[in-house]
Structure formats: C-alpha cells, structure tokens
Structure 1
Amino acid sequence: MKKILLSILLLAFFQSMFSQTSLYENPDFDEIAKSHKIIAMVPFKTQVKLRPKQMKDMTAEQLNRIEKSEGESIQTAMYSWFLKRKKRGDLESLDIQDPRTTNATLKKQNIDYNNIMDSTPQELATILGVDAIISGDFETNKPMSEGASVALGVLFGFFGNTNSATINMSVHNTADGVLLWNYNKKVSGSIGSDTEDLINILMRKASRRLAYTKNSKEEEGEEVKD
C-alpha cells in the first residue's frame, strides 16, 4: 500500500514538473467579446535556448533568423487553430485576420519581428484595425517550425521534436488596451512534431476558458491532458 501511495505521489510530482500552467481571465471578457468582429495574432517573440556548443558555433544573425522563423510559425499555427474552429461553426461571428495581411500592414509602419515589442498591444491592434490582438512570447530548446528545423539540421546535423517549450499568450482589447486573457504553459517531453501539434496541445484546455471558444466542442478523439 505504501509503495502504491509513493508511486502516486511521485507521478503527481513529475506531472507538475513537466506540465505547468497558469491562466488569467478578465471577469468582463465574455461580455466584451460579444462586440468583437475581427481579431489578429502577431508573431510571437521567441527565445531559442540551444546547447552551449551549438550557441558557440552559431552567429547572432543565424540565431535571429531561427527565432524569427519560430515566432512566425507560432503565429501561423495559432491562425490555423482558430480557422479550424470557425470552419466547424464555433466562431460564426468572428473573423480572423490572415497573418500575411497582419505582417504586411505592420511592415508598412516599419514594424517587424525585431522591433514589435517596442509597440504596445493596443497600438498594434489599432494599426491592424482589429477589435482584439493575440500576442506573446515563446521559449524552446529545440525549434519545431520547418524553417528553423531545416536551418538547425544544416548547421548541426540534427532534427527532431522539441523537448521543452513555454508559451505566454495574451489577448488585449483594442478599445482600451485592457488585458482580457493570459495563458502561460510549460510542457516537456513528447509534444508533437510541428508547431501546429504544439498549439493544439497547448490550447486544448485553455480554449475552455477563452471567451471566443468557450462553447466549442472538443475535437473528436482528442484526449485532453494538462
């Protein structure tokens, strides 16, 4: 009996180590979301933490290209995630701005991946002409985007899944800049083969508390895990 109890405690301990989550929801988010017609997501600011030897053999420019590729890939994967829910009828009254439109509009204002953090979410959302904006940062020790993985494969001769990743994602209201929703999650181990897999895993439970998707049904056959 003691061994069983010890095993349960150890399992709970390791689960807490490998999957850590915090979520904030503005109490007025549900009501505010009713007036939203279009939202956009911008590239996520990314930090890739490679091994010391890899960092030694990589230039700052190469690392920046990899992080930019990863950040834009998270943006695209998030867009795809919302589109799938819109297609099945969960977001009938909400439009999602195409990332190509988002990035082109920001570029005209001399805003890109490298300086996007110099603008507030409200400023970015106003430039984009949307009701709310999804932004955030992402940290990983082995990128999952195709561009970043290929670059690392060429430089160091390895490919593969991410071992750990942390995402910090926020939704801000354009009208007043208020934070509507924040989700921070860290996962380790086997978390898919690309950024779309990663976003699906990260958003499974979070979507239940996201005003835009609260009433959506879980995908058939998906097992929801922390």
Structure 2
Amino acid sequence: MKKTILSLLIIALGFSANAQKQIFESPKLSSEIKNHKTVAILPFNTKITYKKQPKGFNAEANRDQEKTMSKSIQSSMYTFLLRKGKDYTVEFQDVDKTNILLKKAGISDKLDETTKDEIAKILGVDGVLGGSFETEQTKSEAGAIASAVLFGGFGGKTGTGTLTLTLNNGTTGDLLWRFFKTMDASIASSTDDLVEQMMRKVSRNFPYTK
C-alpha cells in the first residue's frame, strides 16, 4: 500500500499551474527573426537556495548540482524543440556542439561576462536562446511525501522557482523576446517536466512558431 501511494505521488506531482507569467516582445522581433535560420540554446544560469539550510549542507556539492541542472535544462529544452521541429521556422544547434564550442573559446564559465552577439559569433548562429532558473527549497522530499499522505491529495510542495527564457539577436545582441514564469516545485519535478510545462504556457507566443 505504501509503495502504491508513493508511486502515485511521484507520477502525479509536477509543477503547479498556479504561476505568474510575463512576456516581453521587442518591436524589432518580427523583422529580425525573419533572417534567423539557426539558433543556439545556452546552458541555463541556475541557482539553488534553501529557506532553511539542511543539515550537512555542502556548498561545493550545491554548486555541482547547479551546474548539472544548468546543462540538464539546456538538454531538455533542445529535446523538446527537436521533437516539435516541424512547428518552428528555424533549426536549433545541437547542444553538444554548442557546449564544445563554448569550451574551446574558454567562455563556458564566463557566459555572464560575454555579450550575446559575441556568443552568437563564436557559435555561428543567428539567435541565442538562454535563460535562468532559480529555486528556493522549503521542504525535503520526505517531508513533502509525508504532508501529501497525511493531508490527502497531491500537495507535496517542496519549493518555489522562477524561470526566465530569453531570445537575443545574433548580430546585435539585442533582447528580442523574454518569458518569465514563477511556479511551485514538487518532488516529481524533473527538468523535462519543467521545460514541458513552460513551453506549454509559452507555445502561442514562442517567436519561431509557424
């Protein structure tokens, strides 16, 4: 019975639909993206914090987790866009190629110190899709499961998060489009879930949608 309850929780819990979102579109968006053929997806700037720091917290391990999540969101985004490629007017550069070129240029850890047009030139693309994800963990996974079992339903909230997705023009570096969304995170949330939920919300406004 306990295994059944746990399985249901893991399957059912995801990102809450109760979230705020904001979208910005530059007046130049339509005219600029007409010239875009290839777009790169950058590793996301990821930050993990805790409302109450857990026992045995290790700052180095936390930074490693942030780096892992950064690449994981990038990969999930690429997989999603590749899967729905026929719906878009551009092609998306393979993220492995993107990361190798960034590493060769010595800017993998200096993306925040490099302009978007400089990055686009290094990658040989017309546009740069990037963003950030920040999450504050408020409850352990075990605590979330216990709460859901005790109080019923599939509450299981473990934290809050904010996700920002941006599109910059490759030639000028100008910001053409920005999507911002806040959400509640739960124990079943994966980067695939995160991207799926976000793109479902943004699909009508995604710049390259046919």
- CA displacement, residues 164-192 of structure 1 (integer Å, 9 cap, x when unaligned): 22111110001111111001100115595
Q: 1:141 to 1:74 in 2, by over 3 A?
A: same
Q: 1:206 aligns with which of 198, 202, 207?
A: 202
Higher RCO by CA contacts (8 Å cutoff, separation 6 or greater): 2
Contact 1:39 1:133 in 2 (8 A): yes
List aligned pairs for 1:130-145, cutoff 5 A: 130-142=125-137
Residue 41 of structure 2: aligned partner: 41
SS of residue in 2 equivalent to 1:181: strand
Residue 94 of structure 1: aligned partner: 90
Q: 1:104 aligns with which of 96, 100, 106?
A: 100
% identity of equivalent residues? 35
Residue 30 of structure 2: aligned partner: 30
Where does structure 1 lack aligned partners over 5 or more consecutive residues? 1-16, 143-151, 216-226
Offset at residue 52 of structure 1 (A): 2.9
Residue 66 of structure 1: aligned partner: 65
Offset at residue 197 of structure 1 (A): 1.2
Residue 119 of structure 1: aligned partner: 114
- CA displacement, residues 2-49 of structure 1 (integer Å, 9 cap, x when unaligned): xxxxxxxxxxxxxxx941111101123122212111001111111101
Structure with greater strand percent: 2
Residue 76 of structure 1: aligned partner: 75
- CA displacement, residues 110-129 of structure 1 (integer Å, 9 cap, x when unaligned): 112x3221112221111111
Q: 1:185 to 1:22 in 2, by over 3 A?
A: same
Q: 1:52 to 1:162 in 2, by over 3 A?
A: closer
Contact 2:161 2:185 in 1 (8 A): no
In structure 2, what is the Cα distance between the partners aligned to 1:161 and 1:77? 22
Q: 1:104 to 1:161 in 2, by over 3 A?
A: farther
In the alignment, structure 1 residue 164 sits paired with structure 2 residue 160: yes
Q: Number of aligned pairs?
A: 182
Q: Segments of 4+ in structure 1 off by > 6 A?
A: 158-161
- CA displacement, residues 112-150 of structure 1 (integer Å, 9 cap, x when unaligned): 2x32211122211111110000111111135xxxxxxxx
In structure 2, what is the Cα distance between the partners aligned to 1:64 and 1:115? 15
Residue 181 of structure 1: aligned partner: 177
What is the CA RMSD across the aligned residues, in angstroms? 2.7
In structure 2, what is the Cα distance between the partners aligned to 1:34 and 1:107? 29
Contact 2:127 2:169 in 1 (8 A): yes
